[in-house]
Every structure is written in C-alpha cells, then in structure tokens.
Amino acid sequence: MSLGGEEFIIILPICSLEDATSKAESVRREIADKSTVDGRVQPIYITASFGVTLNATGEYFSDLISRADKLLYQAKASGRNCVIAK
C-alpha cells in the first residue's frame, strides 16, 4: 500500500518483529544490490530505508503508522539504506 510519494507500507500478518526485520533487511539488500545505468553510463545507486514495528493489541492503525514513520525517519537520519526496528 502506498502511503506517500516515496513511502510504502508492507503489512505482514502473524509475523514476529525479528522475522519482519529480517524480511525488510532482505528487501533492502536486494534493492541496494541493484544499480541502474542512465543514458550517460553513470551508475545510479538505489537505496531503501525501513521502519519496522508491531501493532499492540487494540492499538489504532494510525498509532502504528505514526510509530513506523518515526522509525523510518530515524533510519534516514542514520545515514539511510538501513532498517530500524522497535
């Protein structure tokens, strides 16, 4: 599900924080390992940052998204191209 211009949500039902973090890291690594070449034969490196969290019982979806968004911005502030989970 697209959240914003360059932000997406991936929902993994019945998944531990460890498994979700591992899946995010796998996707991040796949993206980082792919380089595209533009018309000037100059490499373009693509990176991805992830904020990973779990929902608490009875928690509002908006609170979950807000927490994940804060983690995403922590990942970006940490130099990008990483996964932050909590």
- Residues with a catalytic annotation lie at 6
Q: What angle do CA 28, 46, 12 make, to 5 degrees?
A: 30
Residue 69 identity (one-letter amino acid): D
Token pair of 79 as six digits: 């130099």
Residue 32 identity (one-letter amino acid): A
Contact assessment for residue 72 and residue 41, using Cβ atoms and an 8 Å cutoff: no
Token pair of 19 as six digits: 């498994």
